[in-house]
């Protein structure tokens, strides 16, 4: 038997049982629209790639990381004594940040291409859920090194849910494992970070990807308005796939550059009794919500000061709900004026995020 015939036999055996042929047929038929905005199609793939990097580096970190009282010491060993431990940790932290960035770019590109419109509503909802879970991934992972900065930033961050009336303190205590951030908190955040979140995130991600396969890539309204004969497209296999892979390699390169030239630092070990150091601030992707809450709190000062934070949380939650429900407000190509308003809402959201982030960094003390 030649190598080719062996390969054919093996392929037929697997094909009969798993239906690979149908999959290949589907992939061959699938196309991706080609237009001026095609560039934005890559960001979902880039986000997926960065998530895979995090899974891989996360598992490697898991080998040496010790939650609880030993947390800081284990991260110190990873960063300063293990061979290429610093590289794995830097790649993990940088890919987390890059993933948040690419997810945000992906979300806004979906928004402005109106890809949330019928029949892709579930793609939008699942995507927003994934973003929310990714934020929790970020928040829980940030504490794990237990250095000064992560300790105090988490402490401040957990004061936000604590401000919710009645259930707030209960939620905050549950997350902290007590009234203060301590080694119990690390234990809980660790379980959240490596077990609970992946268990929820991965099936949801699979659902999201399945929806993309089912409905295909949405073309922007300007393209959809064109007659079918004038629209261009490229086959998913192999044209789009090889370009997607090239983008993955470029992303890997950007990640390698950042992780190598700016390795993720480790601050001093936390000291719960010490005063909070200067310049405590949330991660950049939490800066905008943090600052918005702060600003809304100021608006409600004076007699309503006590209600300030609660009102802030309410208004902020309302904004998120509106954002989430946009497919119902602007459901299809015939939305007309509503479509334009949704567009302005998107522009306003970007403006608000950028301005509040800038104010947040400007006013760090």
Partner 1 sequence: MNYPFWEIPYLGSGWVIGIISIFHVMISQFAVGGGLYLPLAERKAMRMTDRTAADAWMKQLAGHSKFFLKVTGIYGTVSGVGIWFAIGLTHPEATSTLIHNFVFGWAIEWIFFLVEMTSIAVYYYTWDRIDPKLHLKVGWVYAVVSFFTLFIINGILTFMLAPGSTWLGVAGTGHEASVFWSAFFNPTYWPSLLLRCCVCASLAGIWALISASRIDSDSARNLKIAVVRWSAKWLAPSFLAMPFLFGWYLLMVPSSQRALLTLGVDTIGTGTFSVITRVALIIVITSATVVGVTYYLAYRNPEDFTLSHALAILVLALVATGAGEYSREMLRKPYVIGQWMYSNGVRVPDAIKIDQRGYLAKSNWVWNNADTSYSRGEAIFRGECGSCHTLHGYRPLATLLSGRDSANIRAFVSMLHEYKPDSPYHRFMPPMVGTRQDVDDLANFLNAQVNPPATAIAAQR
Report the interface residues with partner 1, using CB under 8 A.
79-87, 90, 234, 238-239, 242-243, 245-246, 249-250, 252-253, 256-257, 260-261, 263, 265
- Mapped to the 3 state alphabet, what secondary structure does the chain carry? CCHHHHHHHHHHHHHHHHCHHHHHHHHHHCEEEECCCHHHHHHHHHHHHHHHHHHHHHHHHHHHCCCHHHHHHHHHHHHHCCCCHHHHHHHHHHHHHHHHHHHHHHHHHHHHCCCCCCCCHHHHHHHHHHHHHHHHHHHHHHHCCCEHHHHHHHHHHCHHHHCCCCHHHHHHHHHHCCCCCCHHHHHHHHHHHHHHHHHHHHHHHHHHHHHHHHHCCCCCHHHHCCCHHHCEEEEHHHHHHHHHHHHHHHHHHHHHHHHHHCCCCCCCECCCCCCCCCCCCCCHHHHHHHHHHHHHHHHCCHHHHHHHHHHHHHHHHHHHHHHHCHHHHCCCHHHCHHHHHHHHHHHHHHHHHHHHHHHHHHCCC
Q: For residues 11 and 80, which CB has a smaller minimum distance to partner 1 in the complex?
A: 80
Q: For residues 1 and 249, which CB has a smaller minimum distance to partner 1 in the complex?
A: 249
The nearest distance, CB 344 to partner 1, in angstroms, is: 29
The nearest distance, CB 332 to partner 1, in angstroms, is: 31
Q: For residues 249 and 278, which CB has a smaller minimum distance to partner 1 in the complex?
A: 249
The nearest distance, CB 193 to partner 1, in angstroms, is: 23
Q: For residues 87 and 130, which CB has a smaller minimum distance to partner 1 in the complex?
A: 87
The nearest distance, CB 292 to partner 1, in angstroms, is: 34
The nearest distance, CB 235 to partner 1, in angstroms, is: 11
Q: For residues 27 and 256, which CB has a smaller minimum distance to partner 1 in the complex?
A: 256
The nearest distance, CB 76 to partner 1, in angstroms, is: 11
Q: For residues 8 and 253, which CB has a smaller minimum distance to partner 1 in the complex?
A: 253
């Amino acid at each position: 038997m030649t190598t080719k015939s062996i390969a054919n036999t093996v392929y037929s055996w697997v094909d009969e049982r798993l239906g690979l042929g149908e999959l290949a047929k589907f992939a061959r038929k699938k196309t991706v629209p080609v237009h001026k905005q095609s560039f934005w199609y890559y960001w979902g793939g880039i986000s997926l790639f960065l998530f895979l990097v995090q899974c891989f580096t996360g598992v490697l970190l898991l080998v040496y990381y010790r939650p609880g009282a030993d947390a800081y010491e284990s991260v110190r060993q990873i960063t300063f004594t293990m061979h290429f431990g610093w590289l794995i940790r830097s790649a993990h932290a940088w890919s987390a940040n890059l993933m948040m960035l690419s997810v945000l770019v992906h979300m806004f590109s979906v928004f402005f291409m109106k890809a949330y419109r019928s029949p892709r509503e579930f793609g939008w909802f699942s995507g927003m859920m994934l973003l929310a879970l990714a934020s929790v991934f970020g928040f829980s992972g940030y504490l794990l090194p237990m250095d000064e900065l992560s300790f105090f930033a988490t402490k401040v961050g957990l004061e936000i849910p604590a401000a919710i009336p009645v259930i707030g303190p209960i939620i905050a205590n549950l997350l902290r494992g007590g009234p203060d951030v301590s080694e119990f908190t690390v234990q809980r955040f660790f379980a959240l970070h490596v077990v609970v979140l992946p268990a929820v995130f991965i099936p949801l991600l699979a659902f999201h990807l399945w929806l993309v396969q089912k409905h295909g890539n949405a073309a922007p309204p300007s393209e959809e308005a064109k007659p079918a004969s004038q629209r261009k497209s490229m086959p998913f296999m192999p044209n789009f796939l090889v370009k997607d892979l090239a983008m993955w390699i470029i992303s890997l390169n950007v990640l390698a550059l950042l992780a190598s030239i700016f390795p993720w630092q480790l601050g001093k070990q936390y000291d719960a009794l010490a005063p909070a150091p200067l310049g405590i601030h949330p991660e950049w992707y939490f800066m905008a919500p943090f600052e918005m809450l702060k600003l809304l709190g100021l608006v409600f000062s004076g007699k309503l000061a006590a209600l300030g934070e609660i009102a802030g949380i309410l208004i902020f939650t309302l904004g998120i709900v509106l954002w989430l429900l946009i497919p119902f407000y602007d459901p299809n190509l015939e939305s007309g004026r509503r479509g334009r308003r949704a567009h302005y809402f998107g522009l306003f959201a970007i403006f608000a995020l950028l301005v509040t982030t800038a104010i947040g960094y400007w006013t760090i003390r």
